[in-house]
Structure 1
Amino acid sequence: MCFSFVENTIAQVNDTLQKKEKVNDLEEVVVSGQYNQQSVDQSVFEVKVITQEQIARQGGNNLADILNQTLNITIIPNASTGKSGVQLFGLDAQYFKILVDNIPLINDEGMGNNTDLTQINLDDIERIEIVEGAMGVQYGANAVSGVINIITKKSTSKKWEVVPYIQEETVGSEYNWVDKGRHIQSVKMGHNFNDKLYANGIFTRNNFNGFWGDKEGEHHLYDDGKRGYEWLPKDQYTVKSLWNYKTDNFRAFYKFEYFDETTNRYAEEVRENHDPATDLTYPVASDEEFSSERIFNHLNINGKFFKHVLYDVSLSYQQQKRNVETYNYRIRTGEKFDVASFVYESRKAWYSKGNFSNFLPNKKSDFQLGYEVTSINGFASAISGMYSSENIARTLDSYDVFASSELVFSDKFSLRPGARALFSSNFNTQVALSVSAKYILDNGVEVRGILGTSPRLPSYEELYTYLVDVNHDVRGNVTLNPEQGTSAFLHLKKKYKVQDWYMSSKLSGWYMNVKDRIELAIINQSPLQYQYTNIDKYNAWGLTFTHAAMLHNFRVNAGATFSGVSQVMETEEDYNDDYLYALQLNTNVSYTVPKWNTTFSAYLKYTGPQYQYVQQTNDAGETVLFRGKQLDFSWLDATVKKSFFDNKLQATLGARNILDITSVNTTAVSGGAHTDAASSLMLGYGRSYFIKLLYNFNF
């Protein structure tokens, strides 16, 4: 994200300006991929940082709210499930990891990957770190395109902190206090028992009443296709607790989180049950209620032994369970009957990771040793419709060891090679390699190069799908091999001053390659049969340029990405491996009026047309390949944030999706097995407005 990069690099140019503006997050430290906490400038990796202040200015409550304006990231909401997925460099959420305090977060479909961004709220976030490119050595399998590491707050400068807030938001033009709009309430309580022990607790409710659009909600009585919602309603509850103990050479923290989400799906079809004798109807519909529960435990200890050797060890137990309740619903009376409940998906995971570094007392070289152990017991029910009549329960155990060394040849040049061996109970041994380098030129230009690899393990769906009936024959493949991803990044960055303007510019070039990509392929024409198999090749390259300027209380940031993607399925007789090109632009501006204690901000992102080769049946019944196109669109947000009563009360007013985008036409989507391709892609529910009020009872 170009604005996060700027606020953490430009600001380091001038310490006087930092003090003048009272910005305490400009000397930002990062932990992602580091031996220990380092400043952004010292890091061998290029780490983008989104600070707590930036999150507050955007009025973001979950990860989808914040990442929507980020270059190279595309948020993909799903109105029919209520989930929001994400693409990074054109690769979907299977190819990157979401971490919380350096450990992968469990979810309905994976461990770290395939995460629903709307299920990650930001009520205790200190910063978000984004590292692009294959990070297999540092974070193991499925970190092909990068990682997003959420760092949580673990201390306060006050004896007591009590921070409640509320946020009210329209959903498009829809809003009331009862059954329309988005309603958020949260309270945080923290206490420093002494200079060593801190604890807090957080409760948050996020109530999204769905987007009605042309629908009439759950109480609609007629079979005219208008019952239900265009975007499903859902209710989220989150409870968190933290205990943090620290001394000069030791720290331990324990984090607990309980997350509960309920999503309702209301059928369009209504059985009106007309009674001729009374000329009355007794309408009934068949509905579903999905509930997701996540339990997250994380114990971390870090410090020194033998006076200088650093250790950082985490132990985590996580569980996510998704239930479904199916029932018939008498709409007039609100009565449920024929109720049946099932465990839809479930995952339990034991996880531990340890890093050990600073073995050598000199500052010219060091090495790191580490391990990562994961045991996942997964379950998917046949009631999901994706599997055979038998439920799918499998255990995946992985045991990784990794090592890297850091060689500091001078103040200008350092190098870090690394390797990881990945041992698994289900797949052959995998290897991840990386080498990173940093060099500072005489003119102050910082050069960083990163070359890395990471495997991507097959998912449950790819391994065990069994959709076989009179209309479908789609099967998984338990013999699938892990995909192999490789990436190379080169970053050039310079900070400088032009008159009173503080400037920062960065040019990044990148190349990504994924071999043995898993896709659905036709294995038999008559009868038509599909199976997941390792047949695809994926290549992508791109250039990203970001520039920022800051003058006193005014900041402006702009960025552009030009990228090309080539994708080939080996089973296609008439394939085309040409690169298809796309453009993204973003900019944001902010201006602070000190005497008003007010900051005005605006964020704009343009996503240009996107292309993909897709198969289509022509009038002669032949399958041909053509270049599909998704039309371009722009996303504009704006906020005003003002503080009152010596910064105790903070009010944020904002508008999202000011250009009122709802969907974009596309021919760049392939149809599935026996399903037609979609003609449009839903992106949002229109222009929305919000107000957030937060009060700090700190003493």
Structure 2
Amino acid sequence: MFLNKISFLFLFLVSFVVFSQEASKQDSLFYNKLEEVVITGQYNPQSIKKSVYDVTVIDRKQIDKQAANNLADLLNFKLNLTVVPNAQSGKSTISLFGLDSQYFNILIDNIPLVSDNGLGNNIDLTQVNLDDVERIEIVEGAMGVEYGANSVSGVINIITKKSVRSKWSIKTSLQEETVSNEFAFFDKGRHIQSVNVAHNFSDKWLGRISFNRNNFAGFYDNRKGRDYYNNDSLRGYSWLPKEQINTNGFVNYKNERFNLSYRFNYFNEYINYYNPSVRANINTDTQTSNPSATDRIFKTNRFVNNLNVNGNLKSGSSYSIFASYQTQDRYLNEFNYYILSGDKTNEVDEIYQSSEVFFSKGTISNFIKSNRHNFQLGYETRYISGFDTQASGSVTQQDKNRKQNNYALHGSSEINFSDSFMIRPGLRFEYNSFFHSKLLGSLSLRYLLKNGFELRGNVGTSYRTPNFEELYYYFVDSNHDVRGNENLNPENGYSVSVGLKKKSWFDNSSISLLNNIKINYIDVSDKIDLAIVNSSPLQYQYINIDAYKLWGLSSTNTIKANNWVINLGATLQGISRIANYEVNAKNDFLYSFQLNTSATYEIEKWQTAFTVLLKHNGKQQNYVASGTDNEGNSIFSKSTIAPYNWLDASLKKSFFNNKLETTIGARNLFDVTNVNVSNASTGGAHSTNNNALLLGYGRSYYLKLLYNINF
């Protein structure tokens, strides 16, 4: 199997060379017309060709073709990314290069987004609405110099819309979607409504407001819902019902040398948990029963205020200043629910997760008028306050309110040795009130070779700060002793990537090719894990003990021919998880393989586009504790997650000069729900008690209607 995967990637390498040799000289005018502009990690907005980083862009057209309402809908088909849903919490997070959502940052217009217990990381993807989004930029690898802590594996930067062409732009949409084979208006399925109004008050002032409601009625599967009262574990839902409200406001002022924008977001979410364990409550005197269960309602409120000022000084220098105030509170309403009567008793209502953040960031660049040299200096401050009762432990239930301040200065220089060759060294000094000082560095290069080849290389460092659970968890009773560790150190990580890209056009045809080959390496030291710190009595504690290493080889290829756009990509990754405290730990690399492809066929005359997306996730392996030796040390064996495939298809059709757009489609056509996990075991660190991994709720169909008014 391993040789087959190597052979498959070798074919991509061969195709890369063949395509490059067959292509003729590019038409520079045609090339410049097609070039996309990116901002992530740049001094100023740059074309992708001039960018020092290899930036992956998901544009608005792709978002619309997938009828994606949030990030969880969109990212399933990207290489190196895996969406990880949790049916019981209602959250969907993401792993990048096998590292979970603690290791990368999600930004909105270069500002990290607040979460239950962090800033920029641990984001629930279903909470990030895409209605006002222009495009999404993804940069893989450590971005510590630009974005600081928790950007070990990369960043996802969501760029919102800043302008409209007409004086008034009004959009309203309705989307109905099945949840597997379950659908009924209001009671089953998924129901989305939105409205977006933008107005150019003058050539300098723009305002926009938007509203989105996403009602997911839950997935019954084999469950019986809220009103079922038999105690056979069938009450409730396999996927919890939830309702989300997203409200946005945006104001922008601009003139020739100055731009000011303010963005407001209010997010509200309700998630309902119906306990499958039912109490009969039999009254022997009346020979009646009044069944009840302990149910929960989770409520989230998030407020985001983002301000950005940017422009050019008379000297020619460009500057940008960001300021953000964000809060997020997660409420728990727990009560005893009497199923037949609908009464509630023993009701408890409390805030059990809370985050309050003030964030500010500023940069200034273009100090000297030179085509060969450019410098950028910047600062960043973060003031974070909050607590996480859930992560602190179910025994103490203490609201451990903690404050953490972070101050950073960073600088970098772009040196153009020629029009083709540029390097960018950078340094960042960061002081954290809890974890003290860190020095981060990076070195990037871009070399534009002959015949359209582009060579890029990056090496950079970042670190991950411990989360609430790792710091403060406390669960001690007669059978357990599991504790956090307030003396933990941050995890340290660095990455190296080298990529070669080739863009080609053919004479006398409309065929164009884009081929990209990249090698990635990530190394994380001082990795935090739960370990046995005392054998008698048995005690567990989080400590800095592990390491994580990854190398990956990936190839992405795009062919544009007439009305066709075809993408084909593959990646092979090897991951080594090093458990230094385990005597029998196995630290060899375990390999996984991903393949993705998509095809879009557009008929401009009919204003119609048909899109198919496919992603294959090969088997994934990990070592888990499967027993003990004669001396009581853990013995490890391989646990394997079976391979699985995602397949989506959609048809988008416009009417009346794009005033009305309809999109019909299907998600998860292979009907994936649970994927088997073999040789899973229980007990101890590095182990799991699952024999199946929950990934989806099966094949679903949707219809979206979007009405545009521009005048």
* Secondary structure in 2 matching 1:138: helix
- 2:629–2:635: 8 Å Cα contact kept in structure 1? no
The answer for the alignment partner of 1:502 in structure 2 is: 512
Query: Within 5 Å, which residues of 2 pair with 1:195-594?
Result: 195-276=203-284, 278-381=286-389, 385-386=393-394, 388-498=396-506, 500=509, 501-594=511-604
Deviation at 1:443, TM superposition (A): 2.7
- Output the CA distance in 2 between the equivalents of 1:14 and 1:464: 60
Q: In structure 2, which of residues 675, 694, 704 is the aligned counterpart of residue 664 of structure 1?
A: 675
Deviation sequence 1:159-201 (CA, Å, 0-9, x none): 1111010110001111001211000000011110000000010
Deviation at 1:277, TM superposition (A): 5.3
- Output the CA distance in 2 between the equivalents of 1:522 and 1:668: 23
- 2:658 is the alignment partner of 1:650: no
Flag the 1:518–1:676 CA change in 2: closer, same or farther, 3 A: closer
Deviation at 1:390, TM superposition (A): 3.1
- Output the CA distance in 2 between the equivalents of 1:405 and 1:395: 34
- 2:60 is the alignment partner of 1:48: no
The answer for the alignment partner of 1:632 in structure 2 is: 643
- 2:622–2:640: 8 Å Cα contact kept in structure 1? yes
The answer for the alignment partner of 1:137 in structure 2 is: 145
Greater Cα offset, 387-396 or 663-672: 663-672
Deviation at 1:225, TM superposition (A): 0.8
- Output the CA distance in 2 between the equivalents of 1:82 and 1:265: 10
Deviation at 1:385, TM superposition (A): 3.7
The answer for the alignment partner of 2:9 in structure 1 is: none
Deviation at 1:618, TM superposition (A): 6.0
- Output the CA distance in 1 between the equivalents of 2:255 and 2:683: 57
* Secondary structure in 2 matching 1:463: helix
Deviation sequence 1:657-687 (CA, Å, 0-9, x none): 0000001111376646599621110000000
The answer for the alignment partner of 1:606 in structure 2 is: 616
Deviation at 1:16, TM superposition (A): 8.1
- Output the CA distance in 2 between the equivalents of 1:74 and 1:469: 36
- Output the CA distance in 1 between the equivalents of 2:110 and 2:688: 41
- 2:266–2:302: 8 Å Cα contact kept in structure 1? yes
Flag the 1:163–1:331 CA change in 2: closer, same or farther, 3 A: same
The answer for the alignment partner of 2:20 in structure 1 is: none
| Stretches of structure 1 lacking an aligned partner (at least 5 in a row) | none
- Output the CA distance in 1 between the equivalents of 2:605 and 2:31: 18
Question: What amino acid is aligned across from residue 569 of structure 2 in structure 1?
Answer: G
* Secondary structure in 1 matching 2:451: coil
* Secondary structure in 1 matching 2:658: coil
Deviation sequence 1:620-647 (CA, Å, 0-9, x none): 8863111111110000000000000110
Deviation sequence 1:280-307 (CA, Å, 0-9, x none): 4311111011111110001110001133
* Secondary structure in 2 matching 1:566: strand
- 2:690 is the alignment partner of 1:682: no
Query: Within 5 Å, which residues of 2 pair with 1:103-182?
Result: 103-182=111-190
Flag the 1:39–1:302 CA change in 2: closer, same or farther, 3 A: same
Question: What amino acid is aligned across from residue 545 of structure 1 in structure 2?
Answer: S
- Output the CA distance in 2 between the equivalents of 1:466 and 1:673: 17
* Secondary structure in 2 matching 1:666: strand
Instruction: State TM-score, norm by structure 2.
Output: 0.94
Deviation at 1:275, TM superposition (A): 3.7
Question: What amino acid is aligned across from residue 641 of structure 1 in structure 2?
Answer: K
- 1:344–1:384: 8 Å Cα contact kept in structure 2? no
- 1:494–1:506: 8 Å Cα contact kept in structure 2? yes
* Secondary structure in 2 matching 1:122: coil
* Secondary structure in 2 matching 1:429: strand
Deviation at 1:697, TM superposition (A): 1.3
Deviation at 1:498, TM superposition (A): 4.1
Flag the 1:208–1:633 CA change in 2: closer, same or farther, 3 A: same
Question: What amino acid is aligned across from residue 162 of structure 1 in structure 2?
Answer: I
Instruction: State TM-score, norm by structure 1.
Output: 0.95
Deviation at 1:278, TM superposition (A): 4.9
Question: What amino acid is aligned across from residue 520 of structure 1 in structure 2?
Answer: L
Deviation sequence 1:498-556 (CA, Å, 0-9, x none): 46321111100011100100111111223221111000011110100011111111111
Aligned length: 687
* Secondary structure in 2 matching 1:56: helix
- 1:667–1:678: 8 Å Cα contact kept in structure 2? no
Deviation at 1:475, TM superposition (A): 0.6
Greater Cα offset, 485-494 or 519-528: 519-528
- 2:605 is the alignment partner of 1:595: yes
| Stretches of structure 2 lacking an aligned partner (at least 5 in a row) | 1-11, 17-22
Question: What amino acid is aligned across from residue 488 of structure 1 in structure 2?
Answer: V
Deviation sequence 1:11-31 (CA, Å, 0-9, x none): x96688799xxxx9x432111
Deviation at 1:402, TM superposition (A): 0.1
- 2:427–2:442: 8 Å Cα contact kept in structure 1? yes
- 2:583–2:634: 8 Å Cα contact kept in structure 1? no
- Output the CA distance in 1 between the equivalents of 2:101 and 2:117: 10
Question: What amino acid is aligned across from residue 176 of structure 1 in structure 2?
Answer: A
The answer for the alignment partner of 2:5 in structure 1 is: none
The answer for the alignment partner of 1:698 in structure 2 is: 710
Question: What amino acid is aligned across from residue 280 of structure 2 in structure 1?
Answer: E
- 1:655–1:689: 8 Å Cα contact kept in structure 2? yes
Flag the 1:13–1:183 CA change in 2: closer, same or farther, 3 A: farther
* Secondary structure in 1 matching 2:419: coil
- Output the CA distance in 2 between the equivalents of 1:14 and 1:221: 70
Greater Cα offset, 26-35 or 83-92: 26-35
Question: What amino acid is aligned across from residue 41 of structure 1 in structure 2?
Answer: K
- Output the CA distance in 2 between the equivalents of 1:73 and 1:341: 37
Deviation sequence 1:575-631 (CA, Å, 0-9, x none): 111110110000000101222211000000000011111111269886311111111
Flag the 1:18–1:173 CA change in 2: closer, same or farther, 3 A: farther
Deviation at 1:271, TM superposition (A): 1.2
**Identity, % of aligned positions:** 48
- Output the CA distance in 1 between the equivalents of 2:677 and 2:521: 26
Question: What amino acid is aligned across from residue 136 of structure 2 in structure 1?
Answer: I
Question: What amino acid is aligned across from residue 449 of structure 2 in structure 1?
Answer: L
Question: What amino acid is aligned across from residue 570 of structure 2 in structure 1?
Answer: A
* Secondary structure in 2 matching 1:64: helix
Deviation at 1:437, TM superposition (A): 0.2
Question: What amino acid is aligned across from residue 188 of structure 2 in structure 1?
Answer: K
* Secondary structure in 1 matching 2:63: helix
Greater Cα offset, 248-257 or 496-505: 496-505
